[in-house]
Every structure is written in C-alpha cells, then in structure tokens.
Structure 1
Amino acid sequence: MNTKHLSSFVIFQICLVYGSHFRGGTLTWRPLNATPSGSSVNLLVRERFSWRRSYNYPSYGIVCYCDDTTISTAGTIGENDIVQCAPSIYCSYWSPLNTTTFCTDYSTILDVSSGERTRVYTLPLNISFTIYYYSGNWLADLVKGGNTAWQVSNRINTNLRPDGYINTSPVAVTLPVIYKEVNIQHVHVIQMSDFDSNDILRCRWANANSSYNTNQYDECGGICEGVPGAQLIQANCTIVFTLVTAGLYAGVALQIEDFYNATTLAANTPMSSVPLQFLFYGYATPVGCSMPPQIVGNRPNRACIGTPIGSNVTEYVIVETYCPGQTIVNFITSSPVGMEKSAILNPSPGVYNLILSWIPLSTQYGPEPFCAGAIDNNNLQSNQWCVTFLVGFDSPDVIRPKVVQGSVSPVGTIFQNQTFFSFQTTKFVGRPNRNGTNIYFRDATNNGTIVAQFDCGWAPEVTFTGYTTVIRFNNTPPWQPAHFYYVTMEGGVVSGTEFCGPESAPIKDPTYWVFNIWDPAVSSTTTTTTTPFTTVTITTRPTSTTSINTLLTTTGIVLTTAATSTTTTSTSTTSTTTTSVTTGSTGSTITTETTASVIYSKDFEKACKYPIVIMTTAIFAVTGPIQILVMYAAFMKFEKMFNPTHIKAKTRHKQRMERIIRS
C-alpha cells in the first residue's frame, strides 16, 4: 500500500462496505495582505466539499445530513478527515486541516449537502508545496471511476510575483450535481476569476501523472477524464460534451491555473493550481414537455457584485417555466457561509422567486461566489446560474443627470447629427469581463423601440477613460426630428477594476437619461391667428406720466404720454393685429399717441435663427472635430497599448465571430 494514503485507508475501507458519499469540491487560498512584509505571510485557506445528504455514520465520524436548522446553528457536515501536505521539505509549516465543514446548502431531491470552512496559516515567503485531500469513495453509478477513491490537490505558492506582490489563487465555482439530457450536445461554462485582475486564467483536465502536472502529485484519483469524449476550451473553461447513458453520473475533475503574462503561459509555469470537481447526471428525454426551467435574473449569469462589509444584501433568483403544469419544487445552490434562502415564491403564473439574504462579515473579505439551479416537478434542472459577491468593495454607479450637460451628455434638445454620448460613474471603471452587457438607445415617440445598442463587453464604439464612458456612432445616427429618446442599460455595462470587476446595476428607468431631436420644420412654419374683438366701451384708469421703455415692448401695445385724465373711449378693432383704429371724444387735456415698432416672437426667432445657426455650425465645424479627434485618438492609443481588458474583449469578439461562422 502507498504510504501517502495510509491515514485515509481505514475510512476508505468503511466507504467500500457502506456505500459512497463524495460529490466533489475545491481548495483555494489568498493572502490576507498581498504586500510582503517581513519573512512570512498569512494565507487564508478555503475548503468546500459536497456529500450525499442521506449518508450518515456518526460512529465513524461521517455526518452528511443538513437542513435549515443545521445551517442556522452553524452545524458541520462531512467526514472527520484531514487535508494533508504532500511529501515536501516544507510540510513542517503545514498543520492538517479538518475536512468537516459548516453546512451552507442542501437539496432534498438531489440528495446532496454542501459546506465550507476557512483557516489562516502563517507560512514563510518564497516556498511552494502541494496540499491534498484523499479518501473514498465516489458513488458506484459513474460512467468512469465508480467506487474509486477521490483525490483533490492544490498548489500553494508564496513566491513573490514579478510585480512584487504575493499571489492569490483563482476561484472557480459550480453546483455539485448538474442534470443534463442524454444524446444532446451541451455547453457548460465554469465561472473562474482571480483577485489579481490582470492575470491570465486557464483551466485544464486534472492529471494523475505527477510528472506532467503543476501539483507534482495525483490530482484526480479515479475520475481522471471522467467525461468520455468531452472537449475543453481552456481559455474560458468551457466544456462541450454529450452524455449517452441515462441514470449515470460523469465525474468532472479540473484544475484552474493563473499565469502572470503570456510569456509565463507559454512556458507553462502557473503561479497556482486550484482543483474543481463535480458531477454531471444524464436523464432521458421526458414524455411531454422537455423544456427545463430557466433562471432569468435579477442579475445576469456570471455577474460580479460589489458588496460592502456589514451591508444587508438582498438578491433575487428569478425563474421562468415554459410548460403547462410545470412548477419549481426545489433549488440546488452553492452559497457563502451565513446566506439565508427564502421559501420558493410564485408571484405570477410561470414565474418563481428565491430571495437571498446575507450580511457579509469582515472575515469574508474578497470573492464569495453563489450558484443556483432550479428543479421542477419533473426533476428537470435549469442551467447553472452563478454570481460572485465581492465583499469589501463597492460597485460603480452611473451618476443620474442633475443639470443640462452634467453627468451624462447630451441631454435636452440636440441636433440630428449628434454622434458622441458619454456618462460619468462614481468610481474608476473599465470594460466589463463578459459579453451581453448592452446599452440601448430607445425611441420614446415610437413606444420605446430600440434604435441602437452596443455590447460593452467588446464593442469598439464604447471606450472607457477613468470615470467617463464614451459611446461613438461610427455610422449615420438613427435620430428622427422631433422624436424623444431615452437610454437604458443592462447590469454590468461598466466594471470596477478590482478582482472580477464589480458591475454597475441595471438602469431600466425611461426618465433616467432623455433627449430629443430639434425639428427645424416646426419652428419655421409656426403662425399666429388673432380673432377680431367686438366693440366695447372702456373707461381708463389714471396713468403715470412716465414714458414706457419701448425696448420692452414686443406685442404691439400702443404707448401713451399724457397728463393725468379720465377718458371715455369707443374702440373698434379690426382683425388685423398690427393696426389699431381709435375714435371718440376727449377732455381738454391733449393726448399724444405714438405706436412702437412691433417685433413679434416669430420675427425675433427668424431674425436670430440664421446667424446663431451659422456661427454655431462654423465654430463646431472648426474646433469640434479637431478636439474630438485628438482626444479620441489619444484615448484609443492608450486603450490599445495599456488596457488588458481591451485585449480580452477583442479575443472574446474573435471567438464569438468564429462561433457564428462555424454555426
């Protein structure tokens, strides 16, 4: 027998006799302070494992049952075993980590419980070694590796990065069991991220040959290459696969690795290697409706949410069903410690909600992922939906406009040839890390029809310069004279620069950012019609002897300069508004009447319109393009030279176009 597994041999023998209970897991770590100080570093090591909920042998230290009470009382689940150090000269710095974890999630239908635990280790700088969790066993109903032992391995590395900081390992998240229909090709994306936001991330199949892997140790036990025929796209950790046998599971064993730059990537020298293991389950096509439910929000899949420490977090998991009689009866989740889930709500036909409530603690600083899958009354499971709560950081907000040409531009009435738009945010932002983050321009005059949209994940028309985001229409803009428009945004159109990039919230309010297009035709054809008055007798009141300022007169009022008198006048006014005829008798006082030069509002508009338009157009034509082109060229130059997210966006766009061409 191999001595490295001797400490787990007894439990492994018990599992062979009584059955299987492991459902996968992960090991990650991060420094509490990435800036080196002294000769050591404090690392927070996190373990997360899932188990068969109905498997319980307390006398052997194995308890997998979990319910709401277990979660609320911080009860533990798992087997009383340890995460060990692989043979190394540095193992004296590692003390075994107990594998019982605090229960965070359970599913009665899928018969699974999950939990996690963290512990702080003080380790010397500039060392590297592997930790692992070995025991048994996987369940019997596996396509490959049934009733075999599991092996979960992670490489800890305290060597300083080329930038002088201490590395943080990547984080990957998944549900422990994912249901998929057999004989259909599926695409499953693993959400992976890194606190060191500029690192290059890749994933690969775990490898049992210690001579050919980063950990220099067995990484996958009995489920190496456990999904026959599956293809792995390493750059974005996408698995393309087909399950062929209903009622069987397929074990997935991956390693998520981070590289400092393309040079280290080519040299195959990752800074850390994180395990991620879980199960696919194949089910036959159901009779009747075979459309599984779908999680549609409130946040998009793979969103990163800034979450201040101590804040009251409330998020909604919103599910839609598509078949008559289809209901949501259960959820399978993967949650941070302390997160509470409500009962399943049904606010409207075909729509179901799960409300998440959570107060993050200071000990949870950094990324805390959450995943969910909805299960209907036919045991059909939705696609996995995951978000990452970035504890200790704020999400950027798009600043609501307060004044004309303020935090967003333009607002109010603008010309039809307007092509530049911009908005301000509350913090420094960059391009989002995912596609599908759209800005929409909508025609309010035409029932909110979308006239233009830009995907901020890759669109070259959208550029990010500090606190300002600029949208430039390369072609003729779609504006119609006299139409009103407004702008809406999906969540994540801008991202902060920390870790996974905390995202801006969605903006659906049609009054948030509005503008309208100037209509010269309406202004140039407006006329005024005056209806004739009837003849009336008017008795005037005493008036001042002070002459009225004619500069203030624009309505054709007759001006009078006279001594104080009382006059009875019979007045007849014709339908022509520019002529006034007065007859009648007066007293001994002589009244002198003068008619001021009349300037109507329409005349004033006509007189001023053309000089203003000509001057405005001339000034804008001369100075506007020069300033815009210089600034834009400079920003684009810096963007292309220094912004790694721009490079990522181009890569994602290229991949997207390749997929479109292939399809």
Structure 2
Amino acid sequence: MPNATSTLDCTTSSNTCGGYTSISINEYCTDFSVLSDSSSGQISTIENITAGSQFCVAFNGMYWIGLQSTKCSGSGRKKRGHNSGHGSGPTRPTVSTTTVAGCYSTSAGWSIGCCIDLTVRPDGFINTPPVATIISPITIPINTITNITIPVIDADDDYLSCRWAQKTTALDECGDVCQMAPGSTLDNDDCVLTYNSTGKTVGQYYAVTLMVEDYYDSSTPTPFSSVPVQFLIHIVSATACPLQPTISSNLSDCSPIQVGVQFTFTLTIVQGCPGTTLQDVYTMPPLYMY
C-alpha cells in the first residue's frame, strides 16, 4: 500500500511531459473485506496537459508482500532484456505463457505505470484509454485450473488486447514481478488468464502484472495506449463447494447515469452449492457509491 506522500511521476526525461505535474496516489477507501483482509479504493485528479504530448508516468517504490519474484536473496536483481519503446511491437501474440523463473521474496520492488499519448487519432479524436478493474487477491484452490476474465471496457469501442507487462527502456511496467505467475496462460485477444495451481503450495502468493491495450482495429500493429492491471493470486486449500456464486443485476450492458442524480440498481447473488452461506461481498466501486 503506498504511503500518504506517494506520487505518480513522469518518467520521460526527453521532454517536459506536456505540463504534467506529479499527482498523489493516496486514494480514498471505497470498500474493505475483513475476510480477505483487503481494501479497494479510487482517486480522481484533473490535469491540464498540452495536446499532442507523449510521455510515460509511473509509481515506483514500496514492496509487494512475500511472493514469488525475480529478486532472489543472495543473487540480487536478475538481469532482464530490454525492448525498445513500449507496446507489443509489430505483431501481437494470441496466447502467451509465463516463462520466467523466480524465488520467494519479501522485498520485490513494485512498479506500475502507463504511457500517455495525446496526439490525434486517425478518426480525428484524442484517444480515451480502456478501463480495467479487478479485485485482489483472487483465491484459487490448490490443484485446480481457473479461468480469470479481466473486465475491460473502452469508450471508443476500440479493438482490445491484453499482454504480459514487461520492463522496457521506455517504462518499467512490473518491477521485480514481471511474468511471475508460473502456470499461467494468457488469451491475449479475450483477456482471459488461465491459471493452473497444480503443484503449488497452499498459502503462496503470486503477482499477475498485465497491460490492456487498445488498437484502432485488429490489424493495427501499435496500440493507442497501454493500461496496467496488477493483482495477486492466493493459493488456498481445496473447497467442499467447487462452484462459485453467480451474480446478476437489473442493469443493461451499458446504462446511462445522469450527473447529480442518485442512481440505484440491484445485484442478485446466488450461492454456488446448496447449504452454503454467503459470508462477504467485496466490491471495487467508483467514488460515492454505497
């Protein structure tokens, strides 16, 4: 958890970052789960930035909790290759797996960031990046295969794709936990992570660091933007009920909300197995939702 003085800083030294000034990431708590000992939060800040600017911002610092990392005791930080620029290059994989070896560490460095591009798109507009949110940690029973769908929306209705975060000359997207979720397979086009917990140990944590990217269409090689998604996987004991609860609502896929007017909707949650009890509802809502 960042401290009260942590900021999101411009990491591009070749220009003035379009007038961007470092902003606080000391978010407002929006929910807390006693069961998972985890909190969610949001913060929103307005910046005046010069049109046409291109630069990267990141938060670098603090440490992850004890988990698998490339920062191993006694050997220091392992060297990793650097790619030029950011994004996924001229071609995009459709399925990718984690291949980096690591070890348990209590001092894995944290880095999260993105690159901002305020140049005009081919359709004459300035791009609006995709939005992706996910609850952390995600508990996965030992010796199972679990599909994790990354919820993503895009206001421009662009083509979306996910990839593993990486450390490049332009931006450190993942600190000491780059591709540190062994047993994972990422469906890049559908943004679905398949995680195999076979052979893991109950109690272990693994960090998943991804980037969601929006493209003009499926044939475009370079993304408009890359948005980070980072969360933890927690390995837990096998459960007597293998079925997750189902959640539905009375909302349509896209519901307009008028500014300044209270909006109410209903969620319906059904237990996955008979005889079970719902113990906790943990959310990641926008500010002022209760």
Is the Cα–Cα contact under 8 Å of residues 12 and 57 in structure 2 kept in the other structure?
Answer: no
Q: CA separation of 1:163/1:293 partners in 2, compared to 1, >3 Å: closer, same or farther?
A: closer
Structure of greater relative contact order (alpha carbons < 8 Å, 6+ residues apart): 2
- Gaps (5+ residues) in structure 1? 1-20, 23-61, 63-78, 211-215, 341-663
1:127 to 53, 74, 78: 53
| Letter paired with 1:81 | S
Query: Which residue of 186, 190, 194 maps to 1:240?
Result: 194
Amino acid at match of 2:132: A
TM-score (structure 1 length as normaliser): 0.37
Quote the offset at 1:136 in angstroms.
1.3
The DSSP-based 3-state class of the residue aligned with 2:276 is coil
- Measured against aligned partners, the alpha-carbon deviations of 1:236-260 in whole angstroms (never above 9, x if no partner) come to 1011111222111111101111111
The reply on whether 1:290 has 2:241 as its aligned counterpart is: yes
Q: Percent identity?
A: 29
Q: Does 1:143 align with 2:82?
A: no
Deviations 1:348-389 (A, max 9, x none): xxxxxxxxxxxxxxxxxxxxxxxxxxxxxxxxxxxxxxxxxx
Equivalent-residue separation in structure 2 for 1:133 and 1:175 (angstroms): 20
- Report matched runs for 1:244-259 at 5 Å: 244-259=200-215
Distance 2:229 2:247 in 1: 26
Q: In 2, are the aligned partners of 1:186 and 1:242 still within 8 Å (CA)?
A: yes
Q: Which whole-Å CA distance do the structure 1 matches of 2:123 and 2:18 have between them? A: 28
SS of aligned partner of 2:247: strand
What amino acid sits opposite 2:237 in the alignment? Answer: A
Query: Residues 294 and 322 (structure 1 numbering): CA distance in 2 closer, same or farther, change over 3 Å?
Result: closer
Show CA shifts across 1:508-535 (max 9, x none): xxxxxxxxxxxxxxxxxxxxxxxxxxxx
CA distance in 2, matches of 1:164, 1:257: 19
Residue 201 (structure 1) aligned to one of 156, 160, 167: 160
Query: What residue ranges of structure 2 are gaps of 5+ in the alignment?
Result: 71-104
Letter in 2 for 1:257: E
Structure 2 CA distance for partners of 1:323 and 1:123, relative to 1, 3 Å: closer
Matched, 1:158 2:158: no
Q: How many residues align?
A: 252
Counterpart in the other structure of 2:175:
221
TM-score, normalised with respect to structure 2? 0.81
More helix by share: 1
Structure index of larger Rg: 1
- Report matched runs for 1:189-588 at 5 Å: 189-197=149-157, 199-210=158-169, 216-243=170-197, 244-264=200-220, 267=221, 269-286=222-239, 289-299=240-250, 303-323=253-273, 325-340=275-290
Compared with structure 1, are the counterparts of its residues 159 and 92 closer, same or farther at alpha carbon in structure 2 (3 Å cutoff)? closer
Q: Secondary structure at the match of 1:232?
A: strand
Report the alpha carbon displacement of residue 292 of structure 1 after superposing the two structures with TM.
Answer: 4.5
**Counterpart position of 2:11:** 86
Distance in 2, matches of 1:297 and 1:132, equals: 35
Residue identity opposite 1:87 in structure 2: T
Separation in structure 2 between the aligned mates of residue 255 and residue 240 of structure 1, nearest angstrom: 16
Contact 1:295 1:317 survives alignment (8 Å): no
Amino acid at match of 1:298: S
Given the superposition, is the C-alpha separation of residues 280 and 304 from structure 1 closer, same or farther in structure 2, using an over 3 Å criterion? farther
Q: Secondary structure at the match of 2:176?
A: helix
Report the Cα distance in structure 2 between the residues aligned to 1:125 and 1:309, rounded to whole angstroms: 27
Contact 2:53 2:117 in 1 (8 A): yes
User: 2:127 is paired with a residue of what secondary structure?
Assistant: coil
Is contact 2:246–2:271 with CA below 8 Å preserved after alignment? no
* Stretches of 4+ aligned residues off by more than 3 angstroms: 143-146, 322-325
